C-alpha cells in the first residue's frame, strides 16, 4: 500500500467530494531515503535505546513512512527520551494514561459532556455563570426532547443547514451557590466558569477542523479531539484554549489511536511553541 512514489499524505483519506479542493502534495515516499518501518525498528538497541542521530538524518533526507509516523513523533516531540528503554517507556506510558484519565474525569465532573462522545458548539452559560435561557439553547441542552437546526462545514468552507438530533448537553453552573462560599471557593468557581465558556469555542473549531478528511466523518473522532482540547484548556491556566489549537492537535488524533497518548503528544508540542 505504501510503495515507493506514493504521496505520504495519502495516509489521510480524503472525502470523495473534496478531492478537487485538496492541494496535491509533492512529498512522496523515497526508496532508501524515507524512514521505513524496518529502519525505524533497527534504530533501537536490544534494550530499547534509540539512535536518534541516524534517525533524524534519515528523516531530514526522506521524511517518515506513514505507518510509523505516530510513534516517531512521540520521540520528536519529546514524549520519550531516546536513551530510555522499552520497559521504562511502557511504564511512563501507562502512568501518563492514568493521569490523563484522572484529569478527564475531573473535567467530566464539572461538565458531563466531556467523555460522553458529544461536543458543545453553543454557549450555555453567561460570563456570570448563569444558564442561558434562549429557547434554542435549551433545546440543544436537552437533545431527547427534539431536534435542532445546526450547521455543517462543507469542503469549500461554506456552511449548510441540516436538521438532526443535537449533540449538545447542558453546561450547568453553580455561580448562584458560590455567593455565600468562602473567598477561595469563589475563585475556583470563576475558573470553572471561564473554562466552561471556552468549551463551545473549542467545539466550533473542532467541527471545522480537517473537514475534507474521512476520519472526521465519525462523531467519535470529533469528540476525541474536543475532549483533549477541553482537558488541556482546563490544565493550562495561562493559555487555556486559542483558535488554531485544533489544527495542531488533529494530526495527533489521526496518528495515535490511544487518546491519552495523543494528548501527551499535543501537550509536548504546546511546550515548544
Residues 267, 177 within the same domain = yes
Residues 227, 266 within the same domain = yes
Domain boundary among 26, 53, 84: 84
Check whether 170 has a pLDDT greater than 70: no
Residues 105, 212 within the same domain = yes
Residues 80, 108 within the same domain = no
Q: Residue 19, SS3?
A: helix
Output 101 or 127, whichever has higher pLDDT: 101
Residues 123, 18 within the same domain = no
Residues 68, 186 within the same domain = no
Residues 13, 115 within the same domain = no
The model's pLDDT over 52-98, given as tens digits with 9 standing for 90+, comes to 999 999 999 888 988 899 999 999 999 999 999 999 999 999 999 99
> How many domains does the structure of the chain reveal?
2
pLDDT of residue 178: 35
The model's pLDDT over 19-46, given as tens digits with 9 standing for 90+, comes to 777 777 666 777 778 999 999 999 999 9
pLDDT of residue 230: 97
For the segment 152-177, the average pLDDT, to the nearest whole number, is 40
CATH for 198: 1.10.8.270
Residue 159 lies in a domain: no
pLDDT of residue 133: 67
| H or E stretch covering 153 | strand 148-153
Q: Lowest mean pLDDT: which of 68-72, 77-81, 146-150, 238-242? A: 146-150
Which of 221, 222, 249, 230 shows the shortest CA–CA distance to 112? 230
Residues 37, 122 within the same domain = no
- Host domain of residue 56: 8-84
Phi and psi at residue 66, in whole multiples of 5°? -55, -30
Which of 238, 227, 189 shows the shortest CA–CA distance to 101? 227
Residues 71, 112 within the same domain = no
pLDDT of residue 123: 86
pTM for the predicted model, two decimal places: 0.79
Residue 142 lies in a domain: no
Amino acid at each position: 500500500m505504501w510503495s515507493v512514489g506514493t504521496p505520504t499524505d495519502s495516509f489521510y483519506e480524503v472525502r470523495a467530494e473534496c478531492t478537487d479542493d485538496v492541494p496535491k502534495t509533492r512529498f512522496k515516499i523515497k526508496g532508501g531515503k524515507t524512514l521505513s518501518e524496518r529502519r525505524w525498528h533497527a534504530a533501537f538497541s536490544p534494550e530499547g535505546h534509540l539512535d536518534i542521530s541516524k534517525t533524524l538524518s534519515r528523516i531530514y533526507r526522506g521524511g517518515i513512512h506513514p505507518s510509523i509516523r505516530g510513534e516517531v513523533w512521540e520521540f520528536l516531540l519529546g514524549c520519550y527520551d531516546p536513551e530510555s528503554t522499552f520497559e521504562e517507556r511502557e511504564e511512563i506510558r501507562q502512568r501518563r494514561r492514568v493521569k490523563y484519565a484522572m484529569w478527564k474525569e475531573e473535567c467530566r465532573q464539572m461538565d458531563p459532556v466531556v467523555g460522553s462522545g458529544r461536543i458543545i458548539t453553543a454557549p450555555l452559560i453567561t460570563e456570570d455563570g448563569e444558564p442561558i435561557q434562549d429557547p434554542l439553547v435549551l433545546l440543544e441542552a436537552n437533545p431527547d426532547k427534539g431536534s435542532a437546526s445546526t450547521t455543517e462545514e462543507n469542503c469549500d468552507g461554506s456552511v449548510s443547514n441540516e436538521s438532526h438530533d443535537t449533540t449538545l448537553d447542558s453546561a450547568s453552573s453553580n455561580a448562584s451557590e458560590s455567593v455565600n462560599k468562602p473567598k477561595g471557593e469563589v475563585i475556583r468557581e470563576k475558573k470553572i466558569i471561564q473554562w466552561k465558556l471556552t468549551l463551545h469555542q473549542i467545539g466550533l473549531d473542532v467541527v471545522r477542523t480537517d473537514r475534507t478528511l474521512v476520519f472526521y466523518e465519525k462523531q467519535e473522532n470529533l469528540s476525541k479531539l474536543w475532549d483533549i482540547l477541553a482537558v488541556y484548556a482546563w490544565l493550562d491556566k495561562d493559555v487555556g484554549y486559542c483558535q488554531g489549537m485544533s489544527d495542531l492537535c488533529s494530526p495527533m488524533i489521526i496518528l495515535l489511536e490511544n487518546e491519552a497518548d495523543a494528548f501527551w503528544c499535543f501537550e509536548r508540542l504546546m511546550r515548544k511553541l
